[in-house]
Structure 1
Amino acid sequence: MRVISKKRITNFYAIYDDSKNALETWYKIIMKSKYNSFHELRITFPGVDRIKNLFIFNICGNKYRLIAAIHFNTQILFLRYIFNP
């Protein structure tokens, strides 16, 4: 799956350095994988939630959240936000 844009990840962990390993691991898993549905995504990421067309991933044991839009048909993930709730 293609991720747009990794720069948001690197910008985030430049500020919150404790998130770097978790975000890099998440990124590598997403890049190597091909998901055709939300159900398949939940097999790898059981804590992911879906609200309409957005997917919320828990990062660092729910310390941070990553919100993305995923187009399963084109295998593109648009990273919208990463934040500290």
Structure 2
Amino acid sequence: MAWIDEAKKAEWQSPSEIKEKYRSASILKNRRVVFNIKGNDYRLVVAVAYRYGAIYVKFIGTHRQYDAIDAETVEMGGTS
């Protein structure tokens, strides 16, 4: 919930702005970003539409679940 509150207030214009705030975030292809949540117990994969200021959640799960997906293509509800 803390991340959601911060993301709602954010006005990220580029991946480098995300890295400034979240040093452990991983920047991927397709405007995707991986965030470590709760001391790296969970992973959150989002797609960021910088131009529109929108964030689309693509995956949230445990580190173990994350290891079983392709973070560059995963969509909520599936592991494609």
Pairwise TM-score range, normalised by the shorter structure? 0.7 to 0.9
In the alignment, structure 1 segments of 5+ residues that lack a partner are 1-23
What corresponds to 1:31 in structure 2? 8
1:69 partnered with 2:16: no
- 1:32-64 CA distance string (max 9 Å, x none): 110100001111111110121211000001100
Letter in 2 for 1:50: I
Deviating above 3 A after TM superposition, structure 1's stretches of 4 or more consecutive aligned residues are: none
In the alignment, structure 2 segments of 5+ residues that lack a partner are 64-80
**Bigger RCO (CA 8 Å, 6+ sep):** 1
Aligned residues: CA RMSD: 0.7
User: How many residues end up aligned between the 2 structures?
Assistant: 62
* Whole-angstrom CA distance in 1 between matches of 2:18 and 2:9: 13
Letter in 2 for 1:70: V
Aligned sequence identity (%): 26
**Structure 1 residue 73: Cα displacement:** 0.5
Q: Which has the higher helix share?
A: 1
Letter in 1 for 2:60: I
- The TM-score, its normalising length taken from structure 1, stands at 0.70
